[in-house]
Amino acid sequence: MLIIPAIDLKDGQCVRLKQGLMDEATVFSNSPGEQARHWLAQGARRLHVVDLNGAFAGKPKNERAIKEIIDAVGDDIPVQLGGGIRDLDTIERCLDDGVSYVIIGTAAVKNPGFLHDACGAFPGHIIVGLDAREGKVAVDGWSKLTGHDVIDLAKKYQDYGVEGIIYTDIGRDGMLSGINIEATVKLAQALIIPVIASGGLSNIDDIKKLCAVESEGIMGTIAGRAIYDGSLDFAAAQAEADRAATS
């Protein structure tokens, strides 16, 4: 089980949002590169980076900060990047810059043909981010709720050849209210590709609960606000996940 630190970028700074609201941003660092090195030193094995401005604008907006992060970790650990990725040229540029996995969210829902083409052009590098509230997928920085069922869409994207699904319960994101274990397991059981849990991770108990269902197809979880405000010790969380995997 991977515990994956999140670095959310807004105006070149590392921030955390509550339920995706840009005006509810808390700045945690002015140096994305230093933040990336910190998590690497703590034992992170992957980083989750989101260009928040890009997610709202529909194209990357924090490219300098993203490059700082990639330069900081080098080839030591993979970086997965989402936010404003809407075309094949952007994917190619991200991968050329050193990003390992590109996360496609809104564009996957609105333009499934693009996702299909992306999986064909860049096999092994495409992850889909599905953000949902009560089982229905949201798009455009969570501002619009669609009628699409999250499991139905995930199955379709699995057939396209995506590497995995990041599932976020947007009602819990940034609220430290606990991972929606039931919904995450239900999704993972319906798929053969791995699922990464996101939204609401709050403490070591959440890690233990996720580890208990890892065998259902949950490969990791994204850690955000909890590891920044101290309610979850990142190194202890990864150690717990490693211990559970060998017990």
Known catalytic residues are 8, 131
Helix axes 150-160, 181-189, angle to 10 degrees: 40
**Residues β-bridged to residue 209:** none
Looking from the CA of 129 toward its CB, the CA atoms found within 13 Å total 30
The whole-angstrom separation of Cα 9 and Cα 185 is 29
Contact 200, 180 (CB under 8 A): yes
Contact 1, 210 (CB under 8 A): yes
Question: Which residue in this structure is represented by tokens 């070149």?
Answer: 12
